Amino acid sequence: MKILFINGSPNKNGKTVTLAQKLLKNQEYEILHLVDYKLYAYGQDFSDDQFNEVIQKVFTADTLVIGSPVY
């Protein structure tokens, strides 16, 4: 089973990632930090948008875990 954790926090070592590490302990998973990708608002069309790269990783995952910080 392929697990993908999407980190929506701009902090790669923050509490969102720490919580995911505890949740996914003893499991093999891939982390995708959204801060590493250039993503634009829905409906905008820019040549350097990396949304397709992100969505391809989502489509290949069996399980998707999304982490977002709460302020």
The predicted structure's pLDDT at residue 61: 98
Domain extents for the chain? 3-67
Tokens of 14: 């923050």
| pLDDT band of 68, cuts 50, 70, 90 | very high
Longest dimension (CA), the chain: 40
* pLDDT higher than 90, residue 27: yes
Phi, psi (deg, nearest 5) at residue 67: -115, 130
Helices and strands: H and E segment counts in the chain: 2, 3
Question: What is the pTM for the complete model shown?
Answer: 0.90
DSSP secondary-structure letter at 12?
Answer: T
Give the rounded percent of residues in the chain with a pLDDT score beyond 90.
Answer: 92
* Sign of the Cα pseudo-torsion (24, 30, 36, 41, in order): negative
* pLDDT higher than 90, residue 70: no
* pLDDT higher than 90, residue 71: no
